[in-house]
Amino acid sequence: MNYIEKGSKEFRKANAALFAGGFCTFAVLYSTQPILPYLSKEFNISPTTASLSLSVTTISLAISLLIVGSLSEALGRKSVMTFSMFSASILAMLTAFVPSFHYLIVLRILQGFVLSGLSAIAMAYLGEEIEEKSLGIAMGMFISGNSLGGMFGRITIGIFTDLFNWRIALCSIGALSLISSVLFYVQLPPSKHFTPRTLNMKKLTKSMVNHLKNSNLLCLFITGFLLLGCLVSLYNYIGFQLIAPPYSLSPTLVSFIFVLYLCGTFSSTWMGHLADNYGKQKVLRIAFLIMLTGIGITLSINIALKILGIALLTFGFFGGHSIASSWVGHLASHDKAQASSLYLFFYYIGSSVGGTSAGTFWTNYGWIGVVGLIISFILIAFIVSTKLPKDKAYEIHKAEKTNL
C-alpha cells in the first residue's frame, strides 16, 4: 500500500515537516501565557481576565476543529494545513500592535480558528500515511514539535519582554512561525492515501455523533480534556507565584521554567514507544501517576523541588497525550479525521476550562487551590482510563515475541 515506513526518506521529511508544524502551532497558541502578569498590569485587569487571552484562543480552536477536520476531507490535507500555518503567523505579528485588550481578544479568537487547520488534520495525515507499527513514534515526534514550540516560544517571549517589551516579543514569535511555515510546505510529502470526498455536513455530523456514542473513544476524549486542563492550569499561574515574593524572579528567569517542556519532547516519543511494546493502557496509567507525584511536589516552598515537580508533571502529561492521541486513530473504525477533531475539541476545551477555572482557585486559595484542582483532574483521568479496552496492537506484538 506504499505507507511511509520508519527509516525512509519520506518518513524523515514527514517528521521534520510536522515537527515544524507543531512548533509553529504551539509557539503561537501559547504566546500570551508567559506575559499574563504584564497584560494584567498594562490593561488593568485581573489575572483571571488576562487568562482569557489564552482561553478564547483554545475555545475558538476547539470549535473550529470540528469544522476544519470535515473541510479537509473535501479540500485535502496539505493545502489546509499550509494555509493554517501562514495565516496564524501573520495574525501573531498583528497582535503586537493592539491598542487595547479587547482588540487582542479579537485577534486571538481569529488565531484559534486558523490554528485548527494543522491541529485537526496532522493526526489524520499520520494515521493515513504512516505504517501502523511506526505510528506511535511518528505521533511522538509530532507532539515533540508541539512541546518544543511551546517551550521555545514562551522562552523567547520572556526574554524579549525583559529586553524590550511584550509587543516586540509577540511580533518575534510571528516571524519565527513564518519561517516554520515555509519549512513545513517544502518538506511535507503529499498524501497518497487520501481520497477527496464531497462535503456532506449531514453525513459528517452523523459520523461525529457515532464517534461520541463509542464509549472507548469517549473515554479518550475525556482523557484529553483532563490532561491539557492540568498542564494549562499549572503553567498559567506558576508565573504569578514566581514573580511574587519570596521568589521575585524576572520575566526572563520565569520564562526558563518552560525549558521543562524538553521533558515532554523526550517523554512523548519514549512513552509512545513503550506503549507500542507494553500496552497503551498500562503506560497511560503510569503517566498519570508521574503527573500526580509531580503536582504534589510543587507544594514545596523550595524552588528546586518546585521545579522538579513541574518537570515530572510535564513529563507525564506529554507521554499521556502521545498515547491517548495515537490511540484515537486505532479505535476509530471510520472517518479518522473527525475522530481526531473530536479528541482535540475536548483537549482544547480542557485547556480553556482548566486555565480559567484555575484562576478562580488561584485568586481564592493561592497555589494550593490550583494544585487541588489539578489533582482532581488527574484522579478522574485515572478512573476513566480503567474503562479503556485491551490494546490489540500490543497483544499482537506480545504474541509475535512469544512465537520467536
| String of DSSP letters for 147-200 | HHHHHHHHHHHHHHHHHT-HHHHHHHHHHHHHHHHHHHHHHPPPPSS-------
What is the predicted pLDDT for the residue at 378? 97
User: For the ranges 31-35, 141-145, 196-200, 248-252, which has the lowest average pLDDT?
Assistant: 196-200
User: Which letter does DSSP use for residue 33 in this model?
Assistant: G
What is the predicted pLDDT for the residue at 394? 47
Report whether 347 contacts 227 (CB < 8 A). yes
Q: In this structure, is the dihedral angle defined by the CA atoms of residues 168, 229, 328 and 70, taken in order, positive or negative? A: negative
| Selection from 184, 165, 173, 213 nearest residue 338 by Cα | 213
What is the predicted pLDDT for the residue at 339? 83
pLDDT, tens only, 167-186: 999 999 999 889 889 988 88
pLDDT, tens only, 300-335: 999 999 999 999 999 999 899 989 988 887 787 777
Q: In this structure, is the dihedral angle defined by the CA atoms of residues 335, 66, 146 and 219, taken in order, positive or negative? A: negative
What is the predicted pLDDT for the residue at 396? 47
* 48: confidence class by pLDDT, cuts 50, 70, 90: confident
pLDDT, tens only, 226-270: 999 999 999 989 988 998 889 988 878 888 888 887 887 788 878
pTM: 0.77
% of the chain at pLDDT higher than 90 = 36
Cell numbers for 27, please give them.
509557539
Residue 186 CB neighbours (<10 A): 11
User: For the ranges 34-43, 55-64, 69-78, 158-167, which has the lowest average pLDDT?
Assistant: 69-78
Of residues 335 and 13, more confidence is placed in 13
Of residues 196 and 208, more confidence is placed in 208
Q: Is the pLDDT of residue 204 over 80?
A: no
Of residues 178 and 24, more confidence is placed in 178
pLDDT, tens only, 68-97: 766 766 666 788 888 888 999 999 999 999
Report whether 49 contacts 40 (CB < 8 A). yes
Q: Is the pLDDT of residue 56 over 60?
A: yes
What is the predicted pLDDT for the residue at 258? 84
Please report where in the chains the cell 511506526 appears, as a residue.
134
Of residues 199 and 251, more confidence is placed in 251
| Selection from 149, 360, 349, 324 nearest residue 236 by Cα | 360
The mean pLDDT of the chain is 85
pLDDT, tens only, 357-396: 998 999 899 999 999 999 999 999 999 998 888 765 545 4
- Which residues, in sequence order, are CB contacts of 25 under 8 Å at separation 6+? 85, 88, 115, 118, 119, 146, 149
* Euclidean distance between CA atoms 252 and 139, whole angstroms: 31
Average pLDDT over residues 15-19: 84
* 11: confidence class by pLDDT, cuts 50, 70, 90: confident
* Euclidean distance between CA atoms 259 and 174, whole angstroms: 20
* Euclidean distance between CA atoms 78 and 98, whole angstroms: 31
* Euclidean distance between CA atoms 392 and 159, whole angstroms: 47
Please report where in the chains the cell 463509542 appears, as a residue.
214
In the chain, the domains with their CATH numbers are 9-403 (1.20.1250.20)
User: For the ranges 136-140, 155-159, 282-286, which has the lowest average pLDDT?
Assistant: 136-140
Q: Is the pLDDT of residue 400 over 80?
A: no
What is the predicted pLDDT for the residue at 140? 74
Report whether 362 contacts 232 (CB < 8 A). no
Cis peptide before 389 (omega within 30 of 0): no
Report whether 236 contacts 49 (CB < 8 A). no
What is the predicted pLDDT for the residue at 191? 75
Rg (CA), the chain: 20
User: For the ranges 120-124, 194-198, 260-264, 399-403, which has the lowest average pLDDT?
Assistant: 399-403
At 130, give phi and psi (nearest 5°): -95, 140
Apex 130 CA angle, 127 and 136, nearest 5: 75
Q: Is the pLDDT of residue 404 over 70?
A: no
What is the predicted pLDDT for the residue at 398? 54
Cell numbers for 6, please give them.
520508519
* 198: confidence class by pLDDT, cuts 50, 70, 90: low
